[in-house]
Chains A and B, each alone.
Chain A
C-alpha cells in the first residue's frame, strides 16, 4: 500500500520531498499536509526553499525524491486534470503586458476550457474593474500583483499556490490581497502561501511552517507556536523624572509576579502591556537567524 491514508482527504500531501540544483540541496526532505479550506503559511527567509517547493508542487520542477500528491494525484505525473484544478501566483510577475487585464484573464480562462469566464467579477474583487480594458503595461507594481492574484483565481481552483503574494506591496494593497485569499479559503480552497513576512503568516495562516535551509523546523498554528516556544512578558512603563522608563518582565519567569505587584503599586506607573512573542522571535530562537536577508 503506497496510498497514504490520512483519513482526512488532505488537498496537499507531501512526504520526504527533496530537490537539489546540482550540488545545492534546496529542499531537504519535507513533510506536510494542507486540508481543504485551510491556509498553510510557509514562513522563511530568502533562499529557504519556499519557491522550490511550490515549483515542485505545481509541476515546474520534478522532485528528486519523496512524494507529493495534490488532490490525490502525484505531482510528478504531468496531469492536465490536476492542472485544471490548481491556481498559481508566481513570485515573478508573468503577465502579457501587451494585453489588457481582461484579455489576460480571458486567455487563461480559455486554457482551462472555461467559456464564459467572469473576468470582470474577478477584477472587481481585486479592485481593478475600472482598468479592465487597459493594457497591463500601464499598470503599477501593485496593480500587476493584484492581476497575478486574480489570474490564480480565474479557474476557481481547489488548491492555490501563492508565492510571496504581497511581497513589496504597500499595506493597503497587501490587506486587500489578504482579504481575497481568505475568501478563497472560505470557499473551500486549500492554500499554500509563502512569505517572509511574519505578520502575514500570523494573520492569514491556519498553520505556519517555519522553513529554513530546506527543512521545516516547526509546523503548527501561530498560537500554538507562540505558546510552545515563545516567552510571554509584561512591559511596564513608568515615569522617570522628565522621561519614561520601561521594564520588561517575563511572565513565566521566577519572581516576576512580586516585582510586577511592586511596580503596579508605584505612583510612577503609566501603562502595563502583556507582550506576546512574535513569530520572528521564535524563528530566531529555533534557527539562530532572522527572516530578512
Chain B
C-alpha cells in the first residue's frame, strides 16, 4: 500500500466531488431534512409568542412579561392599535391593563381583564401567553390565587419528537455521504472504464478502495457533524461527539465500498441499496417510537453507530458509556473491510471480462 498513491486518488475524488450530483445530494439532503422536520415538528423556526400590552397604569404584569425570556413584548399606546395588530396577526395576543388594575386585583375586586387573541395565532402560542398572563395575575394577588392554573401535559412523556428525529437525520447524512457516495463512485469508475485505466498504472486495487473509503469517511463525518450541529445536538463535549461520528462514518463508508465493489453497475447498486434500505434504516425508527422493544434495534448493523451518536450527542453522555457499542461498530467495519478486499480480487477479472 502506498499512501501517496491513495492520496492521489482521494484528491482526485475530492476535487471531482462537487461535479457529481450524488455528492451534492449528500450535502443538500441532511440540510433539507433538518429544515423540513424542524418546520413540521420542531422549534427552530417557531416564532416566539408575540404579546402586545396597553398599560394605562404602571402594572407589575408588564414588568413581569419584560423579565420573561421567550416572549416578544410590544408596548402600545391605545386599544384600537392593539386590536388592529392582533387582528392582522402582527401579534398573537394583546392585553389591556387599565389604570389601577394591580390595586383592584390586590383589593380582591376581580376586575375585568381584556385579553385579545388573534385567530391566526398558533395554539401553542395562545396557551403560553394565556397561562403566563394568568400566572402573573396570580402573583399580584399573592397567596390567594384568583384562578388556579393546572397545567396538564398531554401527549407522550419524554423527549419531543424533534429530538427523537435527530437519529433519522443523522442516519441520512451518514448513509448518503458514507455509503452512497463512495459506492456509486466505485460503480461509476467501473462503468466508465476509468477503474481499468487506473489499475494498469502502478496503483493497486486495494489502494483505490482505501481512497474511496477515506472519501466516504471524510464526507460522512463532515455531514454527520454538520447535521448534529444544525439540530443543536453537539452538546458540550464536542470532541467526543466528533469521535463517535467518525467511527460511524468509518462503518458506513466501508459498507459503501463493499456495495460498490460488489455491484456490477449502477442499476445493481441502487437495487441493493433499495433492498437493504429498511434493514439499514430500522434502528433509526426505534428512536421515534420509544415504546417499541428496544433490544430489536440491536439486530441491525447501523444500531451500533446510531446508538453511540444518540448517547453522546443528544443525551450528552460520555463516550465511555458507549465503548462496547463502538467496539462492535469497529468490529463490523473490520469484517466489512475483509469482505471488500476479498471481493476486490474478483473485481478486476470481472471488469476485464466486460
Q: How far is the CB of A106 from chain B (nearest CB, A)?
A: 10
A220 to B347, CA, bound (A): 37
Tell me whether A83 and B196 are in contact in the complex, defined as CB-CB below 8 angstroms, given that A61-B349, A98-B19, A99-B16 are known contacts. no
A220 to B30, CA, bound (A): 65
**Contact indicator B192/A60 (Cβ below 8 Å):** no
Q: Chain A contacts of B198 at CB under 8 A? A: 111
B interface residue numbers (CB < 8 A to A): 4-5, 8-9, 12, 15-16, 19-20, 192-194, 196-204, 348-349, 351-353
Tell me whether A58 and B200 are in contact in the complex, defined as CB-CB below 8 angstroms, given that A21-B353, A111-B5, A113-B4 are known contacts. yes
The residue that B200 contacts in the complex, of A59, A95, A96, A103, with Cβ under 8 A, is: A59
A119 to B139, CA, bound (A): 81
30 A/B residue pairs, CB under 8 Å, sorted by A: A21-B353, A55-B352, A58-B200, A60-B199, A60-B348, A60-B351, A60-B352, A61-B353, A80-B204, A83-B202, A84-B201, A84-B202, A86-B200, A88-B197, A90-B196, A92-B193, A94-B192, A94-B194, A94-B196, A95-B194, A96-B16, A96-B192, A96-B194, A97-B192, A98-B19, A103-B15, A108-B201, A111-B5, A111-B203, A113-B4
Q: Beyond the given A92-B193, A95-B194, A151-B197, could you list 13 further A-B residue pairs with CB under 8 A, ordered by the A residue number?
A: A58-B200, A59-B200, A60-B351, A61-B353, A78-B204, A80-B202, A80-B204, A83-B202, A94-B196, A95-B197, A96-B192, A97-B192, A111-B202
Shortest Cβ distance from A108 into B: residue: B201
A274 interfacial by beta-carbon distance below 8 Å: no
Chain A contacts with B in 87-138, Cβ cutoff 8 A:
88, 90, 92-99, 103, 107-108, 110-113
A233 interfacial by beta-carbon distance below 8 Å: no
**Contact indicator B194/A111 (Cβ below 8 Å):** no
Main secondary structure of the interface of A (DSSP, over half): loop
Q: Chain A contacts of B199 at CB under 8 A? A: 59-60
Q: How far is the CB of B281 from chain A (nearest CB, A)?
A: 31
A95 to B353, CA, bound (A): 19
Q: How far is the CB of A272 from chain B (nearest CB, A)?
A: 51
Q: Chain A contacts of B8 at CB under 8 A? A: 107, 110-111
A98 to B204, CA, bound (A): 23
Q: How far is the CB of A107 from chain B (nearest CB, A)?
A: 5
Shortest Cβ distance from B191 into A: residue: A94
A256 interfacial by beta-carbon distance below 8 Å: no
The residue that A61 contacts in the complex, of B9, B16, B20, B352, with Cβ under 8 A, is: B352
**Contact indicator A60/B200 (Cβ below 8 Å):** yes
The residue that A93 contacts in the complex, of B16, B193, B351, B352, with Cβ under 8 A, is: B193
Q: How far is the CB of B204 from chain A (nearest CB, A)?
A: 7
The residue that B201 contacts in the complex, of A78, A95, A111, with Cβ under 8 A, is: A111
Q: Chain B contacts of A93 at CB under 8 A? A: 193
Q: How far is the CB of B38 from chain A (nearest CB, A)?
A: 34
A173 interfacial by beta-carbon distance below 8 Å: no
A151 to B12, CA, bound (A): 16
Top 10 nearest A-B pairs by Cβ distance? A94-B193, A80-B202, A60-B352, A111-B201, A98-B19, A110-B8, A83-B202, A61-B352, A94-B197, A88-B200
**Contact indicator B197/A108 (Cβ below 8 Å):** yes
A61 to B202, CA, bound (A): 16
A180 interfacial by beta-carbon distance below 8 Å: no
A62 interfacial by beta-carbon distance below 8 Å: yes
Q: Chain B contacts of A86 at CB under 8 A? A: 200
Q: Chain B contacts of A60 at CB under 8 A? A: 196, 199-200, 348, 351-352
Q: How far is the CB of A111 from chain B (nearest CB, A)?
A: 4
Tell me whether A90 and B352 are in contact in the complex, defined as CB-CB below 8 angstroms, given that A83-B201, A83-B202, A107-B12 are known contacts. no
A151 to B200, CA, bound (A): 12
Q: Chain A contacts of B348 at CB under 8 A? A: 60
Shortest Cβ distance from B12 into A: residue: A107
